[in-house]
Amino acid sequence: MSYLEYNTKFVPTGPRKLLYLNWPVILLICAVATFGFLMLYSVAGGNPGTWMLPQLKRFGIGLALMLVVAMVPIWFWRNMSVLAYLTALALLIAVDFFGEVGMGAQRWIDLGFIQLQPSELMKIGLVMMLAAYYDWLPAKRVSNPIFVALPLILIAMPVMLTLVQPDLGTALLLLLGGGAVIFAAGVHWAYFVTVIAAGAGAVFAVFKSRGTPWQLLEDYQYRRIDTFLDPANDPLGAGYHITQAKIALGSGGWTGRGFMQGTQSRLNFLPEKHTDFIFTTLAEEFGFAGAFGLLLLYALIIIFCVSSALTNKDRFAALLTIGIATTFFLFFAVNMSMVMGLAPVVGVPLPLVSWGGSAMLILLVGFGLMQSAHVHKPR
Amino acid sequence: MKRPTRSDALIQRRFSRRALVLGGLQAGVVGVLGWRMHSMQVDHADEFRMLAEENRINIRLLPPARGLIFDRNGVLLAGNEQNYRIVITREDAGDIEEAFARLTKLVDIDPELVERAKEEMARRSPFVPVTIADRVAWEDVAKITANAPALPGITADVGLSRVYPLGSDTAHVVGYVGPVSDYDLTEGYLAEDDDPLLQIPKFQVGKTGAESRMEDQLRGSAGTRRIEVNALGRVMRELDREDGDAGADVQLTIDAHLQRYVQARLEGESAAAVVIDTETGDIRAMASSPSFDPNLFVRGISVADYNGLLNDNHVPLSGKAVSGGYPPGSTFKLVTSLAALEAGEVEPEETIWCGGYTNISGIRFHCWRPGGHGNVSFHESIKQSCDCYYYEASQRVGIDKMAEMARKLGLGVRHDLPLSAITPGIAPDKAWKRERYGEEWRIGDTVNASIGQGYVLASPLQLAVMTARVATGRSVTPRLVHTIDGVEQPSGRGESLGLNENNLRRLRAAMYDVVNHQRGTGYGTRTVLDEAKIAGKSGTSQVRRITPEERARGVTSNDDLPWNRRDHALWVDFAPFDNPRYAVCVVVEHGGGGSSVAGPIGRDITLQALYDGDPPLEAYPSNMRGRMAEQQEHIRGLAAQGATATIRA
């Protein structure tokens, strides 16, 4: 069922919309971002100008953008879904040809005023596209193989494009984020069971084939896997980062070593300490209390999003909210797993905390969409 | 408005279910993350905290100051001096070329050193200081300090380096230090040493002499500095510092003044001399000539200098006083005679005929005096050094008893002093020859040994010990270390040898006449003051066999032979005769006659020791006094230019 078929007179208009915003989520977002500002201040050695102030400015812009997006009715965004997806896809293709090379991968496109990462745009674009697709698709066709294949292609295209960059982290987020929307849309269990079984089989085959003539990966790729499984094997090479990150994290203890007192971070043992590994500094300086506190803030954001989705009778809005919440969840879950040695290092920032504009803006736009869904939910 | 259909309600329920499953999955992941955090940050916090500390804290060793070496009177023999270095730190220097250009304009530095420093800087991290020049003059340091603002990154640094104020005078006794080498650590004397200090690049350890043999005492123990470093190894700050213990100071028994005199008196010869205090066994002087300047080795000796030292046929690098093994010649008659008297094989008054030679199993053994000595008693045999007497006496005693006596008197025994390459010498007996050559001992071997030729070998140190033991009847043991860290080392006075005092007295009386009787071989070395009466024995040992043809032509004068085939000249003595205080041995390699070459040196050294300085000219016979005055003047000159002024600590 869709909005046009609803009576929209109960939908708030004008400034009254502000009262209908999901304020707990906004407050939680601000709290999480505050953690980020503190950590950026700390890793810069107490110099706010290095990272904290620019980040604060960007957060301000992002927050404003979020409110603007939230004020626009959700049906407008639904109508924009296909356009958003296609734009992101076109930019992704463009970046493979004209992109700037940064951090060993082609990810950026320089628009003059901002360096745009189309893969970030795609994280929202894909979720919007899939939500719109299932909003359009009649319920009884959801598990029809033909209508299952189409969203799979919609997911596969951006995943392939980010894989060749190569940006394993984004590819993973797109895959799982898209999968979550399809799952929530009600596609039959059997499809997921098949895919998971196939994935497990593939992993098994990869490991089993090692050293045999039909080995599936190159030797260096196996070595990377080894390093992930046991970083101590290569403490000064590829395993160095993860080993140092674990040391920083572990040495935090219950209450941490104190703000700006983390030796691992202050003495530069930590890699990328203002971007992907910022959580390790946080955990070192604020300890288990701080790290677990941040995790709880994240979990609360997810809970509020899911409950908003559950109470929203509009299919597009509900699926979009679930998709955005899952994408956000994947950001912090993958990042934390990575720095705690539970997952390989795949370059995913800690959402709203790590230094970097693209991810923060796109996440805040995503929360803007979620707020729009919340404000304009059928009542 | 359209009513919700049944299928809409169905899909809504399904969405709720799926959303809750997704939420549940996510909650599960959050749970795992939280559990992992707890496990790492709470359960294993201590391990990780320790790893973080290990990361952060480096321990640097602080090399201790090496112990000083003094003579018995507190004159510094080995010290530590401040050594100024010019050091550059790349990250502070900015433009390297510019920095070096300014530096070389200010201070004269070898361009090669500059190139080497640049290479090293390229290899190292920018914050590591690299030494440009070592041992820089104080004036240059002052210039650099004064111009510090114009020389960013360039500083003058100070460290300690070893210095030997007496230079060549104590080279063989004190030895020298040098940077620890791979050989030292793997096969050398430091192979068992696990002191972390040895891992410091270019750490200075003793290489020869007391410096190496007393390394353990002199080195001291490392201090530590705990510093905080960052991931690149840059030092952020010092956390704490624990100073090590400086090495123990060592006082030798050497008398620096006497040592200088002896060294100067041996000038020009390939020779060695030892002065032993008969009361304590203290080695008052131990010289080997020619010598070398040990400071050259500490500073890094040039290839040319080193080859010069290596190729010199007078072997300046060898400490001949302990490492040289010489046939002792007639000085060995002290052993043979005492062995014969003690065994009762000759009576003191009994005479033995010397006709100039003795035939033994078909071989003719000659006396040094072609016409022979006629009837010779024990006393005369020593005084005139008759060889035939000992050919006979030795056959009666047998080599084993002679060897036993030799060992009793300190020959063929290694005297363990803290010095390099100490030879045990050889006091041969039948078992020794069987062991060494697999041959039976022959009577001719005994006869050769009786006059200190053949297999017998002894070092100047051993001969001095022998003389001291004859002079005292005690088992005087040489001692080189007086105190370590202020603790007196055991005296070498020794217990009685258990020899018949009458026999010893007869031998000493004969030695007295060697020097003081007109017909004694050493009459030319006599002294005239009662307080300085000397008793001695000369020795002239062949280093080649004299063929019958040569003998038929008449004895070839030593002067006509090439240097390295001439006889060794030896001399041993003790003084004063009636109350011995010093025993002296002098060996002049290929010097010629013992009494004519080594004897006068021995006498001068003995008098110098007795008077603790230049003796009064009245000690010498009146006809020698003029020459002696000149000689004293000459040697004072030599000693003065030998090294820089002695430093009293």
With a CB cutoff of 8 Å and minimum separation 6, the contacts of B261 are B285, B605, B608, B635, B639
What is the per-residue pLDDT across B396-429, written as a single tens digit (0 to 9) for each?
999 999 999 999 999 999 999 999 889 999 999 9
Q: Is the pLDDT of residue B592 over 90?
A: no
Q: Do A183 and B52 touch (CB under 8 A)?
A: no
- Which residue on chain B is closest to A310 by alpha carbon? B16
pLDDT at B142: 86
- Which residue on chain B is closest to A254 by alpha carbon? B42
Select the residue from A181, A263, A301, A322 to test the B interface by mutation, using most B Cβ atoms within 10 A. Answer: A263
pLDDT at B643: 45
pLDDT at B173: 94
The strand pair at B69-70 and B76-89 is best described as: antiparallel
With a CB cutoff of 8 Å and minimum separation 6, the contacts of B403 are B412, B427, B428, B429, B432
Highest mean pLDDT among A199-203, A230-234, B149-153, B545-549: A199-203
Nearest in space to B609 (alpha carbons), one of B641, B631, B576: B576
Q: Does A319 lie at the interface with B, CB-CB under 8 angstroms?
A: yes
Name the residue with higher pLDDT: A2 or A115.
A115
What is the per-residue pLDDT across B192-219, written as a single tens digit (0 to 9) for each?
888 888 877 778 899 999 999 999 999 9
Q: How many angstroms away from the CA of A72 is the closest CA of chain B?
A: 23
Name the residue with higher pLDDT: A75 or A228.
A75
Query: B350 falls in which pLDDT band (50, 70, 90)?
Result: very high
- Which residue on chain B is closest to A257 by alpha carbon? B49
**What is the rounded distance in angstroms from the CA atom of residue B410 to the CA atom of residue B404?**
10
Which stretch of A231-235, A281-285, A295-299, B233-237 has the lowest confidence by average pLDDT? A231-235
Q: Which of residues 342-371 of A touch B (CB under 8 A)?
A: 342
**What is the rounded distance in angstroms from the CA atom of residue A280 to the CA atom of residue A336?**
9
What is the per-residue pLDDT across A337-357, written as a single tens digit (0 to 9) for each?
988 888 877 778 999 999 887
pLDDT at A17: 87
pLDDT above 90 as % of chain B: 58
Assigned token pair, B372: 């022979």
How many residues would you count in chain B? 649
Name the residue with higher pLDDT: A233 or B235.
B235
**What is the rounded distance in angstroms from the CA atom of residue A350 to the CA atom of residue A43?**
15
**What is the rounded distance in angstroms from the CA atom of residue B584 to the CA atom of residue B261?**
14
pLDDT at A331: 93
Q: State the count of interchain CB pairs (< 8 A) between A and B.
A: 144
Q: Could you list the active site residues of B?
A: 330
pLDDT at A245: 86
Integer-rounded Cα radius of gyration of chain B: 37
Q: Is the pLDDT of residue B554 over 70?
A: no
Average pLDDT over residues B278-291: 94
Contact B121, B96 (CB under 8 A): yes
The shortest CB-CB distance from A288 to any of B10, B23, B37 is to B37
Assigned token pair, B232: 């690149």
Contact A87, A121 (CB under 8 A): yes
**What is the rounded distance in angstroms from the CA atom of residue A119 to the CA atom of residue A158?**
8
- Which residue on chain A is closest to B29 by alpha carbon? A333
From residue B638, how far is each of A366, B469, B643 by CA, in Å?
Answer: 97, 33, 9
Select the residue from A242, A254, A267 to test the B interface by mutation, using most B Cβ atoms within 10 A. Answer: A267
Which stretch of A10-19, A61-70, B173-182, B457-466 has the lowest confidence by average pLDDT? A10-19
Q: How many angstroms away from the CA of A238 is the closest CA of chain B?
A: 15
Contact B478, B415 (CB under 8 A): yes
pLDDT above 70 as % of chain B: 95
Query: B239 falls in which pLDDT band (50, 70, 90)?
Result: confident
Nearest in space to A58 (alpha carbons), one of A363, A368, A370, A372: A363
Q: Do A291 and B41 touch (CB under 8 A)?
A: yes
Q: Which of residues 118-177 of A touch B (CB under 8 A)?
A: 139-140, 142
10 Å CB burial of residue A190 (0-12, 13-18, 19+) is exposed
Name the residue with higher pLDDT: B333 or B236.
B333
Select the residue from B22, B25, B41 to test the A interface by mutation, using most A Cβ atoms within 10 A. Answer: B41
Select the residue from B2, B40, B49, B237 to test the A interface by mutation, using most A Cβ atoms within 10 A. Answer: B40
What is the per-residue pLDDT across A172-186, written as a single tens digit (0 to 9) for each?
899 999 999 999 998
Tokens 């941490």 label which residue?
Answer: A256
Q: Do B30 and A295 touch (CB under 8 A)?
A: yes
What is the per-residue pLDDT across B140-190, written as a single tens digit (0 to 9) for each?
888 888 888 888 888 887 888 899 999 899 999 999 998 888 888 888 888
Highest mean pLDDT among B220-234, B531-545, B635-649: B531-545
**What is the rounded distance in angstroms from the CA atom of residue B212 to the CA atom of residue B173?**
11
**Dihedral sign, CA of B37, B41, B42, B45?**
positive
State which residues form the domain around A7: 3-375
Integer-rounded Cα radius of gyration of chain A: 21
In one letter, which amino acid is A71?
A: M
What is the per-residue pLDDT across B38-55, written as a single tens digit (0 to 9) for each?
999 999 988 888 888 888
Contact B541, B326 (CB under 8 A): yes
Total domains, chain A: 1
Q: Do B30 and A333 touch (CB under 8 A)?
A: yes
- ipTM summary value: 0.90
What is the per-residue pLDDT across B606-643, written as a single tens digit (0 to 9) for each?
999 999 999 999 999 999 999 999 999 988 888 776 54
Q: Do A139 and B8 touch (CB under 8 A)?
A: yes
10 Å CB burial of residue B554 (0-12, 13-18, 19+) is exposed
With a CB cutoff of 8 Å and minimum separation 6, the contacts of A29 are A63, A301, A352, A364, A367
Contacts of B12-16 with CB under 8 Å at 24 or more apart are B12/A313, B14/A186, B15/A184, B15/A185, B15/A186, B15/A315, B15/A318, B15/A319, B16/A310
**Dihedral sign, CA of B374, B379, B383, B388?**
positive
Average pLDDT, chain B: 88
pLDDT at A108: 65
Nearest in space to B298 (alpha carbons), one of B178, B181, B207: B178
Q: Do A249 and B49 touch (CB under 8 A)?
A: no
Q: Is the pLDDT of residue A374 over 90?
A: yes
**What is the rounded distance in angstroms from the CA atom of residue B105 to the CA atom of residue B647?**
36
pLDDT at B303: 86
**C-alpha atoms less than 13 angstroms from C-alpha of A379 in its C-beta half-sphere:** 9
How many residues would you count in chain A? 379
**Terminal-residue alpha carbon distance, chain B:** 114
Average pLDDT, chain A: 86
Query: B436 falls in which pLDDT band (50, 70, 90)?
Result: very high
What is the per-residue pLDDT across A54-73, written as a single tens digit (0 to 9) for each?
999 999 999 999 999 999 99
**What is the rounded distance in angstroms from the CA atom of residue A286 to the CA atom of residue A260?**
9
Q: Does A232 lie at the interface with B, CB-CB under 8 angstroms?
A: no
10 Å CB burial of residue B477 (0-12, 13-18, 19+) is buried
Tokens 């006709």 label which residue?
Answer: B355
Q: Does A269 lie at the interface with B, CB-CB under 8 angstroms?
A: yes
pLDDT at A118: 85
Nearest in space to B256 (alpha carbons), one of B484, B80, B74, B419: B74
Helix (H), strand (E) at residue A277: none
Chain A residue numbers with beta carbons less than 8 Å from the beta carbon of B42 are: 253-254, 288
Q: Does A4 lie at the interface with B, CB-CB under 8 angstroms?
A: no
Q: Is the pLDDT of residue B510 over 60?
A: yes
**What is the rounded distance in angstroms from the CA atom of residue B529 to the CA atom of residue B516?**
11
Chain A residue numbers with beta carbons less than 8 Å from the beta carbon of B4 are: 1
